[in-house]
Amino acid sequence: MLEVDNVSVEVNGVTVVRRVSLRVRRGEIVVLMGPNGSGKTSLAYAIMGHPSYRVVEGRILLEGEDVTKLPPHEKARRGLFLFFQNPVEVRGVSLLDLIKAVFEAGGVSGAGVEKLVLETADKVGLKKTLLTRGLNEGFSGGEKKRSELLQAILLKPRCLIMDEPDSGLDVEGVRLLADFIRERAGEGACILLITHYPNLLNYVTPSKVLVLVKGVVKAEGGMELVEKISREGYNGLV
């Protein structure tokens, strides 16, 4: 379970998230919506431990353990995974080598790992030639998202923070993504799904929806809240 308890976040001395609390239990899909610039990505980075996004108040708990001050790699070891809105390019490290290294760190190696990566790349529609290129180097927006999806499928994290994972994907890609989200939730993962537009929610039914505006949670509900935002936008909440 992921718990964000009364968390405030600062970036360069400016408070961008104010006393946000949310809870994502195993098997739940909790959606965080809000207009651009509302603090959604800042909260995601703070949960994952990005050093530029400081938690100045509150706690972040993973399976009951206070992980607020842990660095990103320690949170990742505990099963936390951030699906980036804008995945960065990493020259000199291929996607294939990265995944092999993660598996080897867990004591798994050999030809079977590469075979699994190739099969999964085919499943998510990622060209095999991209597996040996620098990570995300020269990838299109959609290819970067498919690369993130491939990593999430293979690593099977216990808790996923997915920051606008559908942006840049075509209809087929969105359906693949939705299938993955439903499957992982069904297997007991907790999923915090961050989105600006509600299109992905045509395929995924959340357990709960929260709306973040100017760093503050302004509304909570279910699909009725999503439908209201689809009709009226965020005008009544800003």
For residues 27 and 13, membership in a common domain is answered with: yes
* 123 and 194 both lie in a single domain: no
Question: Does residue 237 lie in a domain region?
Answer: no
**CATH number of the domain within which 166 lies:** 3.40.50.300
DSSP code of 89? P
Is the sign of the CA dihedral 140, 77, 61, 153 positive or negative?
positive
Tokens of 148: 């993130």
Instruction: Tell me the pLDDT tens digit for each residue of 142-162.
Output: 999 999 999 999 999 999 999
Task: Provide the residue type at 157 as one letter.
Answer: P
For residue range 176-213, what is the model confidence (pLDDT) as tens digits?
A: 999 999 999 999 999 999 987 778 898 999 999 999 99
Residue 238 reports pLDDT greater than 70: no
Sheet containing strand 65-66, strands side by side: 14-24, 2-11, 54-62, 65-66
Asked if the structure places residue 102 within a domain, the reply is yes
Distance from C-alpha of 32 to C-alpha of 208, rounded to nearest angstrom? 9
More confident: 235 or 20: 20
Q: Which domain holds residue 36?
A: 2-87+139-232
**Model pLDDT for residues 12-47, shown as the tens digit of each residue:** 999 999 999 999 999 999 999 999 899 999 999 999
**Res. 231 pLDDT band, cuts 50 70 90:** confident
Amino acid identity of residue 28, one-letter, is: E
Question: What does each C-alpha distance from 109 to 77, 113, 157 come to in angstroms?
Answer: 18, 6, 19
Nearest to 224 by CA among 237, 196, 197, 205: 205
Query: Which pair of tokens denotes residue 138?
Result: 């020269």
**What's the pLDDT score for residue 50?**
96
Three-class SS state of 238: coil
* Average of per-residue pLDDT across 60-80: 96
List, for residues 94-127, the tens digit of each pLDDT value: 999 999 888 887 777 767 888 999 999 999 999 9
Reported pTM: 0.92
188 and 113 co-located in one domain: no
Q: Specify the number of domains making up the chain.
A: 2
